Structure 1
Amino acid sequence: MKYYIIAGEASGDLHGSNLMKAIKNQEPEAKFRFWGGDLMAEVTGEKPVKHYRDLAFMGFLEVAMNLKTILTNIKFCKEDIKNYKPDVLVLIDYPGFNLRIAKFAKELGIRVVYYISPQLWAWKEGRVEIIKKYVDDMLVILPFEKDFYKKHDVDAHFVGHPLLDAISDLSEINAEKFKKENSLNDREIIALLPGSRKQEVEKMLEIMLSVRPYFGDYQFVIAGAPSLPKSFYQKYVDENVHFVSNKTYDLLRCSRAALVTSGTATLETALLNVPEVVCYKSSRISYEIGKRLVKNIKFISLVNLIMDREIVTELIQNELNTNRLVGELKSILDGSRRGQILNDYQQLRERLGGQGASENAAKIITTKK
């Protein structure tokens, strides 16, 4: 079977690579063509058709400014699919792009599988109608998503969360050795996860680093995104602000706490048992548009959404300031607040179910012809 897979972000590259491995376990002769990143490339030994670093645009304003590039990519993708003639198209999140491709592929008679649902329960709920019409199998990774789709007469498959698999595969880490290998000092680490896109990193790092004067006993370490060059981060680095690239999981496992930009990283941080403060700030225009479009959603972090209550503090837009960050960070470094978060993380893991999401998804994809 020939599979065409589209992942438009770093998290999609991770989940896409594990899915590809699982498909190969089920079907050793499987062939792939894909949009994604370095992790997916490692599975096949081939470069992606398009790398996700050239696809990810943050916020409404940024998307509008890059609309010509996006439309060009959509046109190219359609032609590429037509030429490759896959048996199955697998779409991973990235809805603005992927839902357009789903319609095109379905009209060509290609089976369409959506793995990792767009957050339609948060906004643009009307897009469910597109999924009902053009997607053959919807594979969801959050427990409440199955009920959401059932409400709209879509029989979605809950396969579990792939991050549980990715994290369970990690070997033991020696914090002292990690610090030495990455030229870090002996102080405890506060990890900074400012995101994977250039625009958001520029917005987030300045405010995250503004807390440094209040935490002189700690060292701050920036988790570099694989999509951005090391040179991009150099202006933020000094004697007590360090940088590591492509080692986010290892960094988190050696950290006392973390400041994390909203996204998949909030859940990764929780599953690695690191108390965190969730941060989010976009351009004023993007924020105002988003605030009017998002419906019935109390939280922005996956951690709080899954548990349907506030486990970790979310500092959004104007609330994301130095004073609030300092106060929240102090509360999770020591004391009862830290203990409560760690207890809540255990409940979070239980709610996400067991391991095997990638294998569960691959079984559905390879057995339904």
Structure 2
Amino acid sequence: MSTSAPRLAMVAGETSGDLLAGLLLGGMKSRWPELTAQGIGGPKMAAQGFEAWWPHDKLAVHGFNMEVLRRFREIWTIRRRLGDRLLADKPDLFIGVDAPDFNLGLEARLKAEGVKTVHFVSPSIWAWRGGRIHKIHRSVDHMLCLFPFEPQIYQNAGIAASYVGHPLADTIPLEVPRAAARQKLGLADGVPLLAVLPGSRRGEISHIAPVFLQTVASLARQRPDLRFVLPVVPGLRELVEPLVHAHAPDAPLTLLDGQSHEALAACDVTLIASGTATLEAALFKRPMVIAYQLSPMSWQIMKRMGYLPWVGLPNILARDFVVPERLQHDANPTQLAADVLAWLDDPARCASVQQRFLDMHHLLRRDTARAASDAIAQVLEAR
């Protein structure tokens, strides 16, 4: 191994994993300009010179439903073939970015054959499926944790771990560029705006976007001055447009090509699906209504495995219901519209939650790329 040009393998699934992995790669390439990385990834990683053998969206599934069962063989085959390829020509290090159901099994195989493994983004063992700590012990040489309470959990289990902060906290400015974002979206300062973010995967959009758009239609009738933007992940416009025509054909809604950060910076409130995007919304200091729907089977499994009263990352970090969460049957247009209006009609409450989110931003801002690179360098040197 050349310490100036390590050869890495990486796997990132879905849009959020690609975003995190792209930020991590950028930091590592600042330290090791000749670094090479290959595996499974998306456009953010490709922009950093990553060579994708399979696209990241091959790993995107939603819940515990027939979609997972239908795609199990395809995903299992990809993991086996990737493992074979990596063991035939071993990298200096493997980094699994999120996607624990895919990555932990691959990491266990690689680690057993002498490949050092790092996992970036702790699985939520503190929230559900805590028994995975044993599998993580077999799979991971070093865990990179996004949240400050996580490393102690791993250290207690004999797993090396580092708190590296959240890379989004480094890239999103402490002071929200609201005026610039509104100008970019063609919005005047006084126009109230709701950002609608129903997720980035086909499965979750199919489940959640209809009720979000029904909420938009209801709000448009109640508040004619309210405007709406919905960022669409590249490649999914053909899925979203028919849903808009079916559920909110007359609402003043603009579909954006990506631009989720501009939408969050510009909006007054966001209606948002549970996931990484809720943390992005918190870092943009946006009042939000978190909602999520799963298939009935997936919902029952999640309820049995869950430990915490919160599902949204901002609430988990705050250890409090600082923003409303509406799940399953509670995620209906009447309730969601009422929650959005409650934020719009209470400036003092909005200011209070924005201050809490600013404190959260400071806590998570740790120059993640450098901290993660320092931890990765220790693993490489130990090799």
TM-score by length of 2: 0.89
Determine helix, strand or coil for the equivalent of 2:172. Answer: helix
Counterpart residue identity of residue 195, structure 1:
G
Is 1:273 the counterpart of 2:281? The answer is no
2:182–2:188 contact (8 Å) kept in structure 1: no
Is 1:231 the counterpart of 2:242? The answer is no
Cα deviation 1:55-94 (Å, max 9, x = unaligned): 1111111322321112111112112212342000001111
1-structure distance, mates of 2:296, 2:223: 30
Is 1:188 the counterpart of 2:196? The answer is no
For residue 28 of structure 1, report the CA deviation from its aligned partner.
1.5
Alignment of 1:168-247 (within 5 A): 168=173, 172=177, 174-180=180-186, 187-211=191-215, 212=217, 213-226=221-234, 228-235=235-242, 236=244, 238=249, 240-247=252-259
Residues 311 and 176 of structure 1, relative CA distance in 2, 3 Å threshold: closer
Cα deviation 1:227-254 (Å, max 9, x = unaligned): x332222221545121002210011111
1:26–1:363 contact (8 Å) kept in structure 2: no
Identity of aligned residues (%): 28
TM-score by length of 1: 0.93
Question: Match of 1:57?
Answer: 61
2:42–2:52 contact (8 Å) kept in structure 1: yes
For residue 47 of structure 1, report the CA deviation from its aligned partner.
4.7
Residues 259 and 112 of structure 1, relative CA distance in 2, 3 Å threshold: same
**Which shifted more, 95-104 or 210-219?**
210-219
Determine helix, strand or coil for the equivalent of 1:34. Answer: strand
Determine helix, strand or coil for the equivalent of 2:168. Answer: helix
Q: Which of 316, 322, 338 does residue 327 from structure 2 map onto?
A: 316
Question: Match of 2:33?
Answer: 28
Cα deviation 1:181-219 (Å, max 9, x = unaligned): xx9998432101000111111221111122232232111
2-structure distance, mates of 1:175, 1:361: 30
For residue 143 of structure 1, report the CA deviation from its aligned partner.
1.2
Question: 5+ residue gaps in structure 1?
Answer: none
For residue 275 of structure 1, report the CA deviation from its aligned partner.
0.8
Q: Which of 1, 13, 22 does residue 17 from structure 1 map onto?
A: 22
Determine helix, strand or coil for the equivalent of 2:52. Answer: coil
Counterpart residue identity of residue 16, structure 1:
A
Q: Which of 351, 354, 363 does residue 339 from structure 1 map onto?
A: 351
- Runs of 4+, deviation exceeding 4 Å: 169-173, 183-186
Question: Match of 2:132?
Answer: 127
1-structure distance, mates of 2:150, 2:124: 9
Determine helix, strand or coil for the equivalent of 1:205. Answer: helix
Determine helix, strand or coil for the equivalent of 2:231. Answer: strand
Cα deviation 1:135-191 (Å, max 9, x = unaligned): 1111101111122223323331111111111213999562443123xx999843210
Q: Which of 51, 69, 75 does residue 74 from structure 2 map onto?
A: 69
1:184–1:242 contact (8 Å) kept in structure 2: no
Question: Match of 2:92?
Answer: 87
Determine helix, strand or coil for the equivalent of 1:91. Answer: strand
2-structure distance, mates of 1:184, 1:195: 27
1:190–1:255 contact (8 Å) kept in structure 2: yes
Determine helix, strand or coil for the equivalent of 1:210. Answer: helix
1-structure distance, mates of 2:311, 2:99: 17
Residues 189 and 69 of structure 1, relative CA distance in 2, 3 Å threshold: same
Question: Match of 2:3?
Answer: none
1:27–1:366 contact (8 Å) kept in structure 2: no
Determine helix, strand or coil for the equivalent of 1:10. Answer: helix
Tell me how many residue pairs correspond in the alignment.
363
Question: Match of 2:122?
Answer: 117
Cα deviation 1:294-325 (Å, max 9, x = unaligned): 2x211001101111111111001111112211
2-structure distance, mates of 1:65, 1:285: 15
